[in-house]
Structure 1
Amino acid sequence: MASSGKIKSYTFEHGAYALPLYHSLKYSANPVCGFLMGRIEGNNAVVFERAVPFSHTHALSPTLKMACHCAETLCAGGEKSLEILGLYVANDIIQKTESLHPLHRNIYERLVQNNPASSVWIIDASRLEQEEIFAYRGYTAPQRAGDLQPINESAMKTKGPVCLMESTRKMEYLAVQDFDDHLHDPEKDWTNKELVEKLAMVSA
């Protein structure tokens, strides 16, 4: 199992890049977080293939455990065997200090315990309208999840457009459903199957 220190590149499929941004835009007044699912190619390249929006509230531990279990089941149930390799967060004032909210830090610590190659990605709202600028700031925890080390931007790649202004103007982000939404209304699809398929067509 690779450690975060050995990972040389992080590539986002378009859906894995765009869905967290949509999540952060839909609930722009709330702290949001979710999981990034993917695979490790060789021993030094992470490819994020899918994102799972988890919460737009400060979720309780039982809800977190349920969401993790459902995400892991989703990983194992697809055509490709994926694993949870990252956490994304947005809209939390504490992120401006390059730290994590205690809840998000606890989630990330669990991910690192399960896979040392796990990373955490903070969505930088100030970058969303800038063309050719990656909207995430990535971090790893070589020692422990409380000590975040920045990922060099040269190691970050995406297989689709980094600027989603056209999609934003069309308010496509309103289609996102997270696990919180699903708990309030079980008919809401937290896997975002239709939206994931639509985003996959952009980079096809």
Structure 2
Amino acid sequence: MSCSVDRLAILKILLHAAKYPSASINGVLLGREAPRASDGEAAIHIVDAIPLFHSFLTLAPSLETALLQVDAFCDLNGNLQVVGYYHANERLNELDLKPAARKIADRIQQRVPQAVTLLVDNGKLPALAEHISTDILQLWVKDGRGWVRSASSRLKADSGGLADLYMEMLLQGKQSQISDFDDHLNDLTKDWTNKALL
């Protein structure tokens, strides 16, 4: 399995993590299956990310409600579907999918068998700000052993100019404007699709 990620999706994930730096955050990835390569390898193209939660990540009723809303959003946007899950741990340099994250990833993978998971490497965010590294996402795929980290070469991220855009958005305070589904449940005027944000 290989995966490509558009810059819009990466920025939304990073802004979600920046808004809640001391909390675990998660969301779903929207996109489509890409045409199979000549070797028959499956590929996913991620074009957007929908921020879901920053508290009570495993609360099943909230998750089910959010996924139903996301499905309805995808139906309205015709060519999009949920193709994966993203997660950032609350601690720097914590690079494993915890049991709660694995359960949610499993739930999404039950609905979409080719689904992938992206884990944010929080420890590399300062390096991104200093233009040292853009390798801040890890690709996880499910095989017979469960969720395993895939080779970094399998993840192709549109990271051209990402550091500059990210820093510009932080300076504009965009991280405080992004809304996840948690925010929406507390205030229905908050748009969890964040259409106007970027």
Report the TM-score range of the alignment, normalised by the length of the smaller protein.
Answer: 0.7 to 0.9
Identify the match of residue 4 of structure 2 among 11, 33, 54.
Answer: 11
Question: 20-29 or 148-157, which moves further after superposition?
Answer: 148-157
Calculate the aligned-residue CA RMSD, in Å.
Answer: 1.9
Query: TM-score normalised to the size of structure 1?
Result: 0.83
Q: Deviations over 1:2-61 (max 9, x none)?
A: xxxxx2x31111111110110010011111100001101113221101110000101421
1:134·1:162 contact (CA, 8 Å) conserved in 2?
A: no
What is the CA distance between 1:110 and its match in structure 2? 1.2
Give the match for residue 27 of structure 1: 20
What's 1:75 paired with?
A: 74
1:201: which partner in 2?
Answer: none
Asked if structure 2 preserves the Cα contact closer than 8 Å seen for 1:140 and 1:150, the reply is yes
Normalised TM-score (structure 2): 0.85
Cα displacement (A) at 1:97:
5.2
1:59-101 CA distances to partner (integer Å, 9 max, x unpaired)? 42111100000111111111x421111111113349825232x
Match of 2:46 in 1: 48
Between the aligned partners of 2:122 and 2:162, the Cα distance in structure 1 is: 13
Contact map agreement 2:139 2:150 (CA 8 A) in 1: yes
Structure 1 counterpart of 2:183: 181
CA 93–118 in structure 1, closer or farther in 2 if over 3 Å, else same: same
User: Tell me, what secondary structure is at the counterpart of 1:122?
Assistant: strand
Moved over 4 A (4+): none
Gaps of 5+ in 2: 37-41
Partner residue, 1:62: 61
- Counterpart of 1:123 in structure 2: which amino acid? V
Identity %: 28
1:79-118 correspondence to structure 2 within 5 Å: 80-93=78-91, 96=94, 98-100=96-98, 102-118=99-115
Number of residue pairs matched by the alignment: 185
